[in-house]
Amino acid sequence: MFAGKINKFRTVALLLIFLGIGVMYFGFLWPSAMLLFILLGMLFIGGSVAIYFWVGMLSTQAAQVECPECKRTTKVLGKTDQCMFCKSWLSFDPKYASDEDR
Per-domain boundaries in the chain: 1-61, 64-102
Please, what is the end-to-end C-alpha distance for the chain in angstroms? 31
Model confidence pLDDT, tens digit, residues 1-12: 567 788 899 999
Give residue 30's Cα distance to chain centre: 33
DSSP helix/strand/coil, 75 = strand
Q: Which of 96, 92, 90, 94 is nearest to 5 (CA)?
A: 90
Q: What is the DSSP string of 88-101?
A: -EEES-GGG--TTT
Model confidence pLDDT, tens digit, residues 26-39: 999 999 999 999 99
| Predicted structure pTM score | 0.79
